[in-house]
Structure 1
Amino acid sequence: MEIKRVLNNNTIIALDKNQEEIVVKGKGIGFGKQVGEAVDQARIEKVFVLDTKETLHQYQEVIQEISEDIIETAEVIIEDLKQHTDKQINDKIYITLTDHISNLLERISLGIKFDSSLLWNVQALYPEEYQLAQRAVTIMRERFDVKIPADEANFIAIHIVNSEMDVAFQDTVGITKTIDEIVSLIKKDFPNVQFVEQSLDFSRFVLHLRFLLQRILQEGVLDYQGSEEMVALLIQNYPVQAKCVTAIMRIITEKYQREIEGERLFLLIHVIRLTTANEPGEKRQLKIKGGNV
């Protein structure tokens, strides 16, 4: 392993045995070193294999522009995330989260407050990510001598979701707002249903919407071979849910300018389960004439 570039005393860009660029960190690992020299193996503390050259280049800029204590805090938080979730975390979080923490501390020092009211439902929509974000807020409070507001967990949670979905941060915010609008629509259409936002049905529905909207943003394939007969039977047996699903599809189509007729069956099943889960004996089955689904 040899040094390709020294970023600072504690961070270098090195070439591994396959001549791929990697980020290597360790106390004093770059001090007095020159390009082409061998990396001091005894000083290696962390190695980052970032997924693309663009990500690597952006991370180099972060290393050079943001203070070491912020970078280390972001790395501690990311390591904590990886230890407490089985979900895949995109390497870009090393850039986005570090930059966010830097901007957060600057805003606090200037007395600038961000309005998180638009993200008020993040905890319900992304409960696992929100809990991880709360851990991140605790870490920041321990490492920085500033008052980190509790609602900062909303923003951190979005960064975590963003790293899982691999889309732009603003797209993740837009997806969150769309899901929240859809959930509000369902609650309005079914005022007598008590929704359990920690339930498996609710989590599956939100996850389905997340990946549907992600595929739309990334112009993925939405061509499903759904059963028209099954759709017709469900519409016949659950007309209120069917009307609600049509409204949901209208919201998505108008926001993203994408036809999603192939999603009708899946959305119907999710909405029916959400709105009938409290009915005795109906928790895991859908009623149709001639049998159950």
Structure 2
Amino acid sequence: MRVKKVLNNNVLIAAHPEYNEVILTGKGIGFGKRTGEDISVESAEKFFVLRDQKEQQQYKQLLSYVDESFIGLMNECIERIEKRFEVRLNEHIHVGLTDHLYFAVKRIQQGLDIKNPFLTETELAYPKEYTVALEIVQWLNEKLGVSVPVGEVGFITLHIHSALTNRELSEVNKHTQLISRMVDVIEESLKISVDRADVNYLRLIRHFHASIERVQKDENRPENQEALAKVLQAEYPVCYNLAWKLIKIMQQNLHKPVPDAEAVYLTLHLQRLAKQ
């Protein structure tokens, strides 16, 4: 490979014969290097490819305001995540997670609080990612001598899930916000305040996430629940009508049809919540 641009002492861009431009990272790898100079991949602690031109520009901008020691820490952080999942993460995590955590740590050091209204929903939706995010927060606390609030675990979880599934973070966030909106509609319609620790709420959130995943992947199987639907409509009309209201919200947000059978499952979940 050949050096194309030295970004700082620990990061440089090199021309790779197969991947075109690659980012090489390693302690002192950029020190004294000049454009056009040969460099071997073995001299780098890690290298990754930012195939998207926009992401390349974002990473270069990132290095203009994030100090080198934090970049090194984040590379180690991402490597830890990859080892836990035994998989290569989508490279956009180098931009997204580094940028997010840099400013999060700055806010913590300034004494500003970080709140996450979707923490419970995120943990239920992505339990494996949440467990690893919790480990990362504990590791960061030790490395930086800070106390990262638990709400930050949820944000890191979403970044990890986004990189594991090659989905845009905005799409992952959209699902979490959709569920939060539907919970607001449930509380307003049933005139209740849902206990976020209640087992029936936890079951409903898991069901919402599973349903959204199936709809997104077009994995819904045709089910004939007409007989049960008629019974539920007669027995629990308020919950049944609310179930259909939620289905319409899902369809509007996902731009895909939601199977009629969903009304049955949602009515049962809603009835359990209403009884509380």
TM-score of the superposed pair, with normalisation by structure 1: 0.72
Change (3 A) 1:128 1:42: closer
1:103: how far off?
0.3
Question: 1:1-293 maps to which residues of 2 (within 5 A)?
Answer: 1-18=1-18, 20-85=20-85, 89-163=89-163, 164=165, 166-169=167-170, 171-182=171-182, 194-195=199-200, 197=202, 203=206, 205-210=208-213, 212=215, 215=216, 227=222, 230=224, 232-236=226-230, 238-239=232-233, 240=236, 243-253=241-251, 256=253, 260=256, 262-265=257-260, 267-268=262-263, 271=266
Cα separation, 2, equivalents of 1:211 and 1:139? 35
Change (3 A) 1:175 1:19: closer
1:30: how far off?
1.8
1:46: how far off?
0.5
Cα separation, 1, equivalents of 2:176 and 2:87? 18
Gaps of 5+ in 1: 216-220, 277-293
Q: Counterpart of 1:135 in 2: which secondary structure?
A: helix
Cα separation, 2, equivalents of 1:225 and 1:176? 20
Paired AA for residue 18 in structure 1:
E
Cα separation, 2, equivalents of 1:225 and 1:118? 26
1:231–1:264: 8 Å Cα contact kept in structure 2? no
Cα separation, 2, equivalents of 1:208 and 1:73? 37
1:71: how far off?
1.6
Alignment root-mean-square deviation, CA:
3.7
Cα separation, 2, equivalents of 1:150 and 1:244? 33
1:4: how far off?
1.3
Cα separation, 1, equivalents of 2:214 and 2:64? 35
1:9: how far off?
1.8
Cα separation, 1, equivalents of 2:261 and 2:17? 47
List, as ranges, runs of 4+ consecutive aligned residues in structure 1 with deviation greater than 6 Å. 184-189, 272-276
Cα separation, 2, equivalents of 1:27 and 1:123? 35
1:207: how far off?
3.5
Aligned match of 2:274:
none
1:29: how far off?
2.0
1:10: how far off?
1.8
Paired residue total:
261
Cα separation, 2, equivalents of 1:89 and 1:19? 17
Cα separation, 1, equivalents of 2:63 and 2:107? 20
Gaps of 5+ in 2: 272-276
Q: How many percent of aligned residue pairs carry the same amino acid?
A: 24
Cα separation, 1, equivalents of 2:264 and 2:73? 43
Cα separation, 1, equivalents of 2:175 and 2:108? 27
1:2–1:15: 8 Å Cα contact kept in structure 2? yes
Cα separation, 1, equivalents of 2:67 and 2:231? 61
Paired AA for residue 45 in structure 2:
E
Change (3 A) 1:24 1:157: same
Higher share in helix? 2
